[in-house]
Structures are given as structure tokens and as C-alpha cells.
Structure 1
Amino acid sequence: MRRTGPEGRRIAWETVGSGPPLVLLHGSFGDRGTWWPGGHVGALAGEHRLVLIDAIGHGESDAPDDPAAYRIDRQAGDVLAVLDAEGAGRAAFWGASMGGTIGFHLLARHPERLTCLIASGAHARGLGADPADVEREAAFCRDRGAAPFVEAVERRGALPGWMRDAMLAIAPEALAAQTVGLFELPDVTAAVAEAEVPVLLLAGDGDHRLPAIRRTAEAVPKASLLELPGCGHLDAFLRLDLTLPVVRPFLRRYATA
């Protein structure tokens, strides 16, 4: 495990495997360790140098209480800092949920650094909310942590124990700060379309984000969308049996471009 980061931020990451670099960035509830039991490392390390990153507030990275630390531009900058430390001028990128959102914003700002982007349960469209609602949700997170979100997922179906543990590991104060820091995201669809970098979107057909994901796919000329039948939001990360047959040839074609 190594740490780097701009502005004194410490971002933890590790590498495994060999080949063209592929960044793996987890979602809001998780850390870099989830890619191991999920099967992604075992499936891809033989063909790629995997760069597994703990986003700010997660895993072994810093977990500040300041919402400004979680702004999307700063999180995109964290990925760049890791790539620079790795000596990787360009890399492929696979982000799950929040990780995919960070990937879209990184692509919009620095298209020269990505060979391709895979986004699971994420889109490039804007996101906003009433500040009062955001503050109420942040207060709820400070009081209850991630437990209510885990319970909501489990009401819809079984959750692997390792995923449950990862979701519960985020500190309540960090979760609250992240909620505020990411509540308003600009729409970067046009910039992603102009980048002409290949994009693969993965989404369950029961994901509440699917309409926005479809609109992203329609607006980006070099984008394709794989809809997973009978699946929800988390399945775009968990159901490697459905995604890997499409992801693997996509990476073989574009990861070294």
C-alpha cells in the first residue's frame, strides 16, 4: 500500500498484476479491497496492472470532516495524483457508482489521461438537490452511519458479507461530509462526448439511475450500454458473470489505445 495526494491529502492505493494500467475505483460504500472478493482482481490481473484506489474518506485514505474535501474535482485530482505517482501517462478506468461518476468528471477534465472508461451504475449528467434536504441527509448519516443504507439494500435481496462489512466501515462523519461535498454535480455529458474516448456503461435494468444512464449513452458517440436483466444498482458491480464477457473484450480493444 502506498499513499500520495495533492494539497497534503493522503490517498492510499496498491497495484497488482502486469500489463496496461487499469484504475479500479469503488463506490460510496466500500474501499479498494472490494475488488478482490468481487472477483475483478482475479479476472483481470493477468492482463492489466491494476491500480486499486481508496477514495478520500474510505479505506486507508484520509477521512476529513470538511465537505469541501469531497468535491468531485478534488477527487478526480486524487486519481491523477496516483497515476502520476505510478508513472502512468494514460490508463483505462473502471469505476463503480461514485467511482464511475468520478471517472466521468476525470474524463471531462483530462481526456488525455484515459484510454477508455467503464462506469457501473453511473452517468455523466448533472445532479443537484435542495441544500436543506442534503443537510438533513448529512445529519442522518452522522447519527446512523451506513447501517440504514445496508438495511435498505438487504430488504431487496441478499448482500455478500464482505460487501456488507465494507459498506459499514465508512466513518459516519466522513459519510456525512461526502454527502454534502458531492450533492451538486455539474453535467459533463457534452465534455465527455467531445473527448471521443470509448465509454462502456453497465447498469441493472432495475437501477433507478437507468434513465440518466441511457441518456448519457445516447449523447456520447463512443459510448455503449450493457443493461443487466433482473438486476439493481449494486449488481452492475457484483454480477461479474454478466459484465466480464463484455468488459474483457472492451479492455482488450481500448486499454492500450
Structure 2
Amino acid sequence: MERATNAQDGTRIAFDVVGTGEPMLLVHGTGMSSAMWRDEGYVEPLATRHRLILVDLRGHGDSDKPHHEAAYTMDRLSADLVAVLDAVEAERAHLLGYSAGARIGFNLAARDQDRLISLLLGGGTARSQHDEFDEVFFPGSIDVLDTGDTAEFLRRLAEAKGPAVETAAREFLDADPPAMAAWFRASRDAPGLTDEQLAGIVVPTLLFAGSQDAARLRDSRAAQQVMPHARLVEIAGRDHITTLAATHDVVSSVEGFLDELD
């Protein structure tokens, strides 16, 4: 993989480039890596018309893994993506992000939307997660990560969310527990965006969430109501863990939305 460096703190961000066409950043969720997009079958269909930039977020995959919470602010994470765009000499790009990747997409748009062609955000939220972090994962999730027992974290996650976490489990077993604990704390404590900030995001935006992903569907509806150029698609019968496995439905929604922009 190639590397870009965030000049703010020297963190190195790993990425890979596949395909040709307009640039598209693919930004994964918590505990995953850019391999998620290949595992779920997104790279092949999207690379036929886009130059895909598959990023490992800091703390994940082959990127650097700081162990302190201050390294994982939304400003730092957004700046990582800008550093990657600069490294591949892309002035602007579409951004397809899921879960944490979607949340970073909201924040990048609020701080530097001139670098974006469109936002394609799934299972995300722009609001503070302080009161619902345990709902998305399980009660006490950060405390379990603090022990360094990744297997116990995955056991508790499967107990809470069911066997559909298998793909996530394979990725999470390779995670760095202290980095993940710092990431979780920073994510939980991030303030979120205001309605005024969301209303100022004028790039075309597709929001999608599983019909059974109650928290993220609620937040996506709220964001759609205040963002001037946002559309919402529900992925039928899917929850937060399983939405991305509906590859055909998600890719069709993304490509249909982008076709209307041409």
C-alpha cells in the first residue's frame, strides 16, 4: 500500500488506488480496514467507472496506530483524508463512507467541502454519540477494549448483535486494542455537528441506512431534513452490522444517484 502523511502530527495513512475515472474515497468503519470493501464486493463494480482510493483510517489496517485519544479527533481524521487526496493529486473526490467513515465524511464536508464532489454516507451520524455508543456496540464496550481482550470484545459483540458480525470479527482480531480504546473514547466524546453546520453542506449527498438500524436511520432522517441537497435510501431488512452486505442494493443506489449528477 502507499502512504500519505498528515502534516498536523506526522501520522502515516495507508491507502491503495484501483480503477480509473473520477476519484472516490472509500472510508471504512470502526475496527475494520479498507479490505472491508473488497470482502463485501464493492471494489469490482465501482472500479469500472471510478478511481477508487481505499483508505485505512488511523488506528486501523496498515496505517499508524496512536494510543492516545487526542490523535482521533474528527479534525485529525478529516485531515488524514485531505492528505490522501493530496498524495494522489486529486483536487476533489466522491466520498463513500460507512458508519465511522460516514461520520468522518460529514465532518470533512463541514470543514473542507471544496474537496468533495459528492457524499455517499451509510449508517452514519453527524451528531454526538455520547448517549448511544453502547447501543451501537454493547454496554461496556470501551472497558472491554481497555483490558486488551479482543476475543472477549468480539464475543460480547456477537452476543449483542448476532452471528452477522463474522466479517467484522475477522478484521477486529487484527486490531490494536489500545488504539481501538483510544478511538472509541474519542468517537464517544466528539461533539458532533450542529444543524447550522449540516445546512451549510451543499454538495450532493446520498444517505443510506438499514431499515432495522434504528439509531442510524433516525440520524440519517434528521440530517436529510436540514441538508439542502440530501436524499435518503433505506436498505430493506438490514441493521447496522448487515447493511453493507447488501452490496447490490447499495451499489445500485450509489450509481443511480451519481448518474443523476452527470
TM-score (norm 2): 0.88
**Following TM superposition, by how much is the alpha carbon of 1:220 offset from its aligned partner in structure 2, in angstroms?**
1.1
Q: 169, 174, 179: which is aligned to 1:174? A: 179
- Specify which of 199, 205, 211 is matched with residue 199 of structure 1: 205
Distance in 2 (CA, whole Å) between partners of 1:129 and 1:20 is: 38
State the partner residue of 1:2: 2
Q: Could you report, residue by residue, the CA deviation over 1:86-129 in whole angstroms, capped at 9, with x for unpaired residues?
A: 11111000011000000000000001011110111002223335
Show the counterpart of 2:135.
Answer: none
Aligned length: 250
Q: Secondary structure at the match of 1:192?
A: helix
Quick one: distance in 2 between partners of 1:207 and 1:61?
Answer: 29
Quote the offset at 1:234 in angstroms.
2.1
Q: Distance in 1 between matches of 2:94 and 2:152?
A: 33
Letter in 1 for 2:177: P
Residues 1:24 and 1:141: Cα distance change in structure 2 (over 3 Å): same
Runs of 4+ in 1 over 6 A off after TM superposition: none
Matches within 5 A, 1:12-161: 12-129=14-131, 137-143=141-147, 144-145=149-150, 147-149=152-154, 151-153=156-158, 156-159=161-164, 161=166
Question: Which stretches in structure 2 are left out of the alignment for 5+ residues?
Answer: 133-139
Q: Helix, strand or coil: the match of 1:148?
A: helix
Which residue among 235, 254, 258 is the counterpart of 1:251? 258
Structure 1 segments unaligned to the other structure (5+ residues): 131-135
Measured at CA, do residues 150 and 201 of structure 1 come closer, stay the same or move farther in structure 2, by a change above 3 Å?
A: farther
Alignment root-mean-square deviation, CA: 2.0
Larger RCO of the pair (alpha carbons < 8 Å, separation 6+): 1
Residues 64 and 248 (structure 1), Cα distance of their counterparts in 2 relative to 1, 3 Å cut: same
Please, what TM-score do these two structures have when normalized by structure 1? Answer: 0.90
- Percent identity reads 34
Equivalent residues of 1:150, 1:167 under 8 A apart: no
